[in-house]
Amino acid sequence: MRVAVTGGGGFLGSHLCEALLRRGDSVVCLDDFSTGDPRNIAPLLGDPSFTLIQTDIAAELRVPGTVDVVAHLASPASPPDYLRRPLQTLAAGSRGTENALRLAHRCDARFVLASTSEVYGDPLVHPQDETYWGHVNPIGPRSVYDEAKRFAEAITQAYRGSLGVNTGIMRIFNTYGPRMRPHDGRVVSSFIVQALAGEPLTVYGDGKQTRSFCYADDLVRAIVAMIDSDEPGPVNLGNPVEKTVIELAELVLAATGARSDVQYHPLPADDPARRRPVITRAQERLGWSPEVDIEEGLRRTVEWFAARPADVAGALTAIRGGQQDGVPPDPVLADPAAASPWSALS
């Protein structure tokens, strides 16, 4: 198949591009690299089955020829990114999603949307299955991401119902693994960076809030299964093994061999207290379950971070300069000389 992957230069998008190429598909990667990294897809540039189009999909989405699948992953996804880029996040979820849907409609292609567990907000139902409507603050600090994804689901469903587009909605829970940006502000990357440097691990709140962490390879297998199906969704994709933030900190310390202390800071507004997916629908309809346990996934992720000491050092500077809400400054915004990600390919 010929698959258009929006956000293909990002953490998950680049893993998806690789997986599709490995099985013989051709891939059109679309990314403006506002939060993606050109280094993620640099090894793919010589593959004749891989095409890169640098574009802001919220402005336009032009793909020459036809495509069989549109996998829409483009969006800022970590809190520091969408808190710094609120309008861009809303645009990616609204105009960007509709542009991707128009491409799928024009090409009579399968469309799969990477939505998020954030549509459940700070849930009042635990664990969360796909019938739960969520508990979201529409004007809170996280709302630009939450509501962008909720709108993206709504317009995806509207294109399916009104125009007959073959759509599928995936609700992705916390995912980690190689190619996470060290400075992206997510708990796994922040803990690993701090542990590798022997710095205290920063925990917000009392650390008893929970998340369910899915390794990237497992998540990509689920996305590929969704691409190959006609499942409309929504389908939860994540690991149902629930960990507290303190438990995660202990696992990271074990994986790195660090003896760092833990420092506690105030909990950000609207931070979910508990998060765990019910994945029965994914198991029954996609034949998918996660396979990599968190100890093994963290070991692989720590190895990847440890092999990039310069990136880790830069991220540590950002984390040290973080604000009380846990949002470190963006190195690109702080350093205009770093504004062009294409220097990584030169």
Q: How far is CA 135 from CA 89, 94, 128, 272, in A?
A: 20, 21, 11, 10
pTM of the model: 0.90
- Quote the pLDDT of residue 322: 56
145 catalytic per annotation: yes
Residue 47 lies in a domain: yes
- Closest by CA to 7, choosing from 116, 109, 83, is 116
Is there a domain that residue 346 lies in? no
Name the domain count of the chain.
1
Asked if the structure places residue 324 within a domain, the reply is yes
- Residue 273 maps to a domain: yes
Q: Is residue 200 part of a domain?
A: yes
For position 342, what pLDDT does the model report?
37
**236 within domain boundaries:** yes
Structural domain containing residue 15: 2-341
Average pLDDT, the chain: 91
Whether pLDDT at 339 is above 50? no
- Note whether residue 83 is domain-resident: yes
Residue 24: inside a domain: yes
Q: Is the pLDDT of residue 344 over 50?
A: no
Q: What is the CATH number of the domain that holds 9?
A: 3.40.50.720
Determine which one of 82, 120, 145, 204 is catalytic. 145
Identify the CA nearest to 132 among candidates 6, 8, 278, 15. 278
> Is the four-CA dihedral 233, 239, 243, 247 of positive or negative sign?
negative
